[in-house]
Each structure stands twice: as structure tokens, then as C-alpha cells.
Amino acid sequence: MDMQTPPQVLLGEALRRFSRAELARELGRDTKTIARWEKAGLDRTSQMALLFLLANSRPAPTSDKGDFTFIDLFAGIGGTRLGFERAGGRCVFTSEWDAAAQRTYRANFPVDERHALIGDIREVTAKERWDLIPAEFDVLVAGFPCQPFSIAGVSKKNSLGRKHGFACDAQGTLFFDIAQILHQFRPAAFLLENVKNLKGHDKGNTFRVIQQVLREELGYHVYPMVVDAKGFVPQHRERIYIVGFREEVDFDWNAFVAPRPDAKRLADILHPQDGSEEPEEPYTVGAKAKVAEKYTLSDKLWTYLQAYAAKHQKQGNGFGFGLVDKDDVARTLSARYYKDGSEILVSQGKKKNPRRLTPRECARLMGFDTPERRYNIIAADTPAYKQFGNSVVVPVIAEIARIMKPGVLSIKEGRAERSLLAA
């Protein structure tokens, strides 16, 4: 890195190595200055100070080495990437269309001439610009959007006597782009993630088409499973994971090791507010790192939510808010959390309105933070809530990657042996 490096890349690299508080201390600034840099950029003097610090500080976490390679499609802010890196994988290509998510991704992962970040995967598949993706990679991972799948087109083609080749049922969907990439590159394995309700979408037709394409059209051995993140994190969050291998391997979901469902409680992710952690503005302030008042619900919003819940309880519905304390497990964090926070409201006692989680607590709730590395949140609260609500639970992905790894390596080693024999 030098003075030609874009300022936000410099700052992102610094915040990968240091927390806001640590960076402020190293540079002799305060955390408000660091937060201002994230929003407004840096002047030349600040750039020079960052360059000097980076050149003389501990190295950043690196993903230059790995036991296997993978590409990250519909990447969001990199939760799946973090999980696969924890299992020894190295990411070699990324695609994510949302500009705000891209900025967060770039602030946490190196993206350079060796690793492309493409905005829209259809830029690759529609124009057949396959050279944008590395010629060889071992695993494709994707948290793809669930779109309607139509079988009407196939029926029409059948009635007209026309051919309906590869993945015709899925054309017009983003899953079709994944299928095209699998068809073109034939990686050893894949992991696809989606909401639990994918299995029942369109009366089961969507899931039927997905399995048909993966198994019959592409010839992969497919293993779907619904997994609840409860125990990995203090959150009830069920998702469907579809694992596939190009060749038959010894893969079994029984190898998946899940913690006890009560292994984690919200106390594990909430700000302690007792001075045991450093303040991280704008989330926590003061010597005891108290949660900022802006996260406490206004009287108007709290009154509305209580009335809304009471109305639906009278009607026999389950709608309402989710009030929790440190000993509880939360409901599923959603992308709409920024609206009112109703699914996860943290109790602050009878004399004070409850509060929303801070974005830092959301990062912990989704498993992004570890003792070794704190995820860099550069977005304002609203996009940050959307980004974490749309993400995956990182330790769940890491465990899936762990049990996939032996199969991936066996296929990879077999390919290497065949290449040697051919030579």
C-alpha cells in the first residue's frame, strides 16, 4: 500500500487490524474522528499517518493460503466466506450486487487484481465472460435469492416438440446463473443456502426443480438439510443448506456437530455496560461503555408496539414483539430489523423502555466477531441492520465447511492424480 491506495481501502485495512478504539489510541485521535473518516474520508495527513501505522503494525489476517479454493456468489457482507476461511478455504472470486454490502465487504476482505469482485453475477453468465472467474476452483458457495420457478415453459416446449436443454425449468431465475457456472466449471462441490421455506415454496415445485437441475441435469450428489443456528449463537434461525459433490464421497450430515441448543444466551453477545469492554462509538459511550440512548425505543413507538401486540393477542394471533433479557435466546434477526426492532427488543427493566440491539451486537449474534478478529462495521445503522439480517450465521457455515472438506479434498486429490497419470 502507498499514497495511491484509495483512502477508504487504507482505512478498511486499518480497521481489519484494529478496533475503532485501538486505532484511535494508536493515532492519538478519538473514536469520533475515526467514525467521521468512515463517513467522509481522510485528508492527506491522515492518509500518511495510516500508511505509517500499517507499515509498522502486526500483519492483517490473510487468506493467501488455503487447503482448497472457493468462489463466493451472492456474497452479502462475507459471512459464508468467513465460515469457509475458518475451515481452511481461500476465496478467489466474489459476486455481490448491493453497493452498500460491497463497501462493507471490501472493508473486511482484500480485493485486488488476484481476486475480482463482480457486482452482478449476470454480467458473467449472460455475456459468457467466463474469464472473470478463475479457471479452476474447488467449491461454489451461494446464498441465492428465492425466485419463482415456472414449469410452464417446459410444458409449452414439449407441446411444440422443441428441445428444452440444460436447466430449462430454472431459466429466468438467479439459480439458473448458479447452474450455468456449475455446468461450465464443474467444481468439486457446492453449498447453497436459503430460507427454510424454500422446500415448500410454490407447493414444493421450486425445490423440486432445484434438485432436478442439480442431480439430473448437472449430475451432482445432493444432500439438503435444515439447520437451526440455536446453540452456535443465541438465536433461533433455521435455514436450508444444500450440499453437493461432483463425485460420490463419504459425506454424511450425521458428522455435523451442533452445540446444545442452550449453549449460548444473549448475555454472550450483549454489551456488558460495566466498563469491561472499551467504548465503541456510536454504539457505546462513556467509561463504562453504556449503550447509546438512541437505541432505546421512544415512548410513541413502544406504546404502538404494545397496542399492536395486544390487538393481535385478542384475535388469537401470535404477532407481537419479542422482549428478551440476557438469559434468553432471540428470535430470528431479519433484514427489516431497522424499522422498529420488534422481533428482538432488549429489556432494560420496568422503569425504562426496551432497546434495539446495536449493530455490534448484531455482528456477534450472527457469529461475525471472534476473540481474534472483530468485524469492521462501516455502514450506518439502517444498512448495517439490513446486512446482518440478510446474512448467514458464520459458525454454522464453518461447521458445514468442516464436514464438507474431506470430500472436497478427496475429489481435488483425485483430479491431481489423474493429471499426473495423463502427463
Q: 157 and 165 in contact (C-beta within 8 Å)?
A: no
Q: How far is CA 69 from CA 103, 157, 249, in A?
A: 23, 39, 18
> Of 187, 157, 183, 161, which Cα lies nearest the Cα of 169?
157
C-alpha–C-alpha distance, residues 63 and 84, integer Å: 11
Q: 33 and 24 in contact (C-beta within 8 Å)?
A: yes
> Of 235, 232, 229, 237, which Cα lies nearest the Cα of 266?
235
Contacts of 100 (CB under 8 A, 6+ apart): 379, 383, 386, 387
C-alpha–C-alpha distance, residues 205 and 173, integer Å: 14
Q: Among the options 91, 146, 168, 362, which is catalytic?
A: 146
DSSP string spanning 71-85?
A: EEES-TTSHHHHHHH
C-alpha–C-alpha distance, residues 234 and 270, integer Å: 10
Rounded to 5°, angle at Cα 81 from 146 and 23: 125
Q: 386 and 335 in contact (C-beta within 8 Å)?
A: yes
Pairing of strands 238-245, 284-285: unpaired
- For the chain, the first-to-last Cα distance in angstroms comes to 41
Cβ atoms within 10 Å, residue 350: 5
String of b and e for 207-216 (b: at least 16 CB within 10 Å)? bbbbeebbee
Q: 18 and 26 in contact (C-beta within 8 Å)?
A: yes
C-alpha–C-alpha distance, residues 284 and 275, integer Å: 10
String of b and e for 163-201 (b: at least 16 CB within 10 Å)? eeeebbbbbebbbbbbbbbbeeeebbbbbbbbeeebeeb
- Check if 146 is active-site: yes
Residues classed as catalytic? 146
